[in-house]
Chains A and B, each alone.
Chain A
Amino acid sequence: MTKPILEVKDLSVRFFLEKEKVLLPALNQISFHVNNNEVLGIVGESGSGKSITLLSILGLLQANPGIISGEILFNANEANINTLEDISSHIEIENFEKADEKITKKTNTWNKLHASRYKKILGNQVSMVFQNPRLAFNPYYSIGKQISESILLHQPNTDKESAKKTAIDWLKRVKMEAPELRYNNNPYGLSGGLCQRAMIAMALASEPSLLVADEPTTGLDTTIQGDILTLLEEIRIQQKLSMIIVSHDFNVMHRLANRVLVYYNGFIIEEGNTNNILDYTSDEHHPYTSLLLNTEFNQHVDVINKTKDTDNSQSKSFFNQCPYYNNCLKVTPEISNKCQSSIPPLLPLHDSHKIRCWRFEK
Chain B
Amino acid sequence: MIIFFLVYISPGESLLQEYLLNLGGNEEEFSENSGPINIHQAYFSWLFASMSGNFGVSNSNGLPVLGQVLEFTANTLYLTFSALLISLCITLPVVMITVSNTFPTLSRFTNILIRLLSFLPLFWVAYILIYISTSVFDYYPLATDYEEITASQFILPVILLCLGSGVLVEIVQQLTYEIKRVLNEEYILCARAKGASVFKHLFKEGIAFPLLNLLSNRIAYLFGATIIIEQIFGWPGIGRLLWQATQDRDIPLLLCAVIICACVIRLSHFIARLIYVLINPRASHE
Contacts and interface: CB of A to CB of B under 8 A. Distances in A.
Interface string B85-118: 0000000000000000110100000000000000
Contact of B190 (A101, A118, A136): A136
A110 interface: no
B185 interface: yes
Contacts of A188: 282
A252 to B, nearest CB: 21
Given A104-B104, A188-B282, A139 B195 contact: no
B282 A60 contact: no
Contacts of B196: 149-150, 153
Given A101-B104, A138-B187, A128 B193 contact: yes
Interface string A192-208: 00000000001000100
A119 B185 CA distance: 21
B205 A140 contact: yes
A172 B189 CA distance: 26
B249 interface: no
Contacts of A76: none
Interface string B173-201: 00000000000011101111111100001
B213 to A, nearest CB: 15
Nearest to A147: B194
Given A140-B204, A188-B282, A150 B101 contact: no
A60 B189 contact: yes
B281 A135 contact: no
Contacts of A149: 194, 196
Interface string B208-249: 000000000000000000000000000000000000000000
B193 A58 contact: yes
Contacts of B193: 58, 60, 122, 127-128, 130
A321 interface: no
A149 B198 CA distance: 13
A154 interface: yes
A123 B194 contact: yes
Nearest to A132: B186
A150 B282 contact: no
B280 interface: yes
A361 to B, nearest CB: 40
B195 A136 contact: no
Contact of B280 (A123, A140, A153): A140
A295 B187 CA distance: 34
Contact of B195 (A55, A104, A153): A153
Nearest to A58: B193
Contact of B185 (A55, A60, A127, A135): A135
Contacts of A118: 195
B187 A136 contact: yes
Interface string A92-133: 000000000100110010000000001100110001101010
A154 B195 CA distance: 9
Nearest to A150: B194
A108 B101 contact: yes
A186 interface: yes
B187 A135 contact: yes
A139 B187 contact: yes
B170 to A, nearest CB: 23
B133 to A, nearest CB: 37
Contact of A206 (B101, B187, B191, B194): B194
Contact of B194 (A101, A108, A140, A202): A202
Contacts of B102: 108
Given A139-B282, A149-B196, A186-B281, A128 B204 contact: no
Interface-centre pick from B196, B204, B280 (highest chain A CB count, 10 A): B196
A150 B191 CA distance: 9
Contacts of A16: none
Interface in A73-92: none
Contacts of B104: 101, 104-105
A137 interface: yes
A123 B195 contact: yes
Contacts of B281: 140, 142, 186
Contacts of B194: 122-123, 127, 149-150, 153, 202, 206
Contacts of A202: 194
Contact of A138 (B191, B195, B279): B191
A182 B12 CA distance: 44
Contact of A137 (B101, B187, B205, B280): B187
A119 B190 CA distance: 14
Contacts of A136: 186-187, 189-190
Contacts of B282: 139-140, 186, 188
Contacts of B205: 139-140
A104 to B, nearest CB: 6
A192 B104 CA distance: 41
Nearest to B205: A140
Closest 10 CB pairs of A and B: A122-B195, A135-B186, A136-B190, A123-B195, A140-B204, A128-B193, A138-B187, A150-B194, A138-B201, A136-B186
Given A60-B192, A128-B193, A142-B281, 17 more contacts: A60-B189, A60-B193, A105-B104, A108-B101, A122-B192, A123-B195, A127-B193, A127-B194, A130-B190, A135-B187, A137-B187, A139-B187, A139-B205, A139-B282, A150-B194, A153-B195, A153-B196
